[in-house]
Structure 1
């Protein structure tokens, strides 16, 4: 960490764009703004972490007043204007909202402190914010790898796999997909199994349970909350499917794998 500044209510940006000699982190606790960093752009809101590498132009447009943590930092081994890392995206939205909120609360308390002990504590919090961002990026990469898995010589089944991936975490009926492809449910299942050596329902189940396993390890969500994020109606049904695929209950999985 080089410096940390906390804005309880920032109503406008003094500069619509800037370039920094070190890494910059915008940690949003409230409010929204649009951003453009290199070739990436988007809208950032509460719970988002936005990273700007050194030497990159950071353009922004205020949408609503921000509660903002503004941090300058360096990464070990990096040189000025030469980012040592290529980020998957400049924006990360950590799943563990409680942990993020706790980090923000401690940063607010330590705002404007200058003693070495307080600076060391802020450094530890910055390290954890980076870890939260990495966990989010790694989770998105794993999901992308799963989506890329579905690549066969049957172009129609590739379309089916892409559709399933997009809808996996929301309730849907398999008949909806088969109708859109002009196939009966039996034809869809047969062709999908031939292409990917699994049924469409198993493909969706694997996506959902993998996401659920990540949420069990990375968050303190209840089973009902995790079920909702994974496309299941309730925690009881999620728990039953999880145990079938993983050979262990969700609660036991969380207990065995959390450190």
Structure 2
């Protein structure tokens, strides 16, 4: 994924592209009332509701938050809340930085923007993330601080992935048999030697026509689509096997572990070794 430029001239990013730095992690259990009905702070606020219910208003977004809902409030934005039922929730204050080190303070730089209430469909994964956060709430050692940031980054990776899948499902409703055939070819050859030129020739399209048409249907270029397939398998092998990076590279279409590490770090904002270690909590 690459950053784009908004109509206002600002660079825009997916949440998965940004680097979070957690400032505060706290858990409240069966809280009966908020000490302040409105807060406005210079950092991002993330609520993960476990139990209970409360009303909220974040800028133009308002409603009722309940179990498994997540709420995101941008910096310098009024966050109104009123308890309906005693609630248990995690609260996180954090800063967000672009890959270039720019501090992100506006939701207008997020595409998609999760500001307000949003949900994660993978409830099992979300519950696992919550349990890991719970273990780290009271720890302030360097290991815990690093893992907190990783878990928060992983949450945004999951959110962006689910949003992308939902958009892809909508795009796949477009009736384009040739591009569906192209997607099947890419998926079939993704983990081996892949020539986009040969695939475009098989489809009787020029490379430019193939790329433009594929992106219209799937919202991403053929190259980026193959990369996403490969990195999905790489992540699985990192977590479920003890294979070396060179061995993983050979199974995922990369020449060697060094090149795989470069691609993985660029796309995931974390090295393969850090990714593997961070999941072995």
The count of corresponding residues between Structure 1 and Structure 2 is 157
**Normalised TM-score (structure 2):** 0.49
Is the 1:3–1:71 contact (alpha carbons within 8 Å) kept by the matching residues of 2?
yes
CA distance in 2, matches of 1:21, 1:109: 27
2:87 is the counterpart of 1:71: no
Question: What's the secondary structure of 2:96's corresponding residue?
Answer: coil
Match of 2:118 among 80, 92, 113: 92
1:184-223 correspondence runs (5 A): none
Deviation string, structure 1 residues 165-204 (Cα, Å, up to 9, x no partner): xxxxxxxxxxxxxxxxxxxxxxxxxxxxxxx99xxxxxxx
Match of 2:138 among 97, 112, 133: 112
CA distance in 1, matches of 2:46, 2:28: 13
Question: What's the secondary structure of 1:74's corresponding residue?
Answer: strand
Aligned CA distance change for structure 1 residues 50 and 137 (closer, same or farther; 3 Å) = farther
Aligned CA distance change for structure 1 residues 111 and 15 (closer, same or farther; 3 Å) = same
Relative contact order (C-alpha < 8 Å, sep 6+): which is higher? Answer: 2
Aligned residue in 2 for 1:56: 77
Aligned residue in 1 for 2:154: 128
CA distance in 1, matches of 2:115, 2:106: 17
Residue 137 (structure 1) shift: 3.4
Q: Which shifted more, 98-107 or 124-133?
A: 124-133
CA distance in 1, matches of 2:42, 2:127: 28
Q: How much is the aligned-residue C-alpha RMSD, in angstroms?
A: 3.0
Aligned CA distance change for structure 1 residues 82 and 112 (closer, same or farther; 3 Å) = same
In structure 1, runs of 5+ residues without a counterpart are 150-195, 198-256
**Normalised TM-score (structure 1):** 0.53
CA distance in 1, matches of 2:165, 2:61: 20
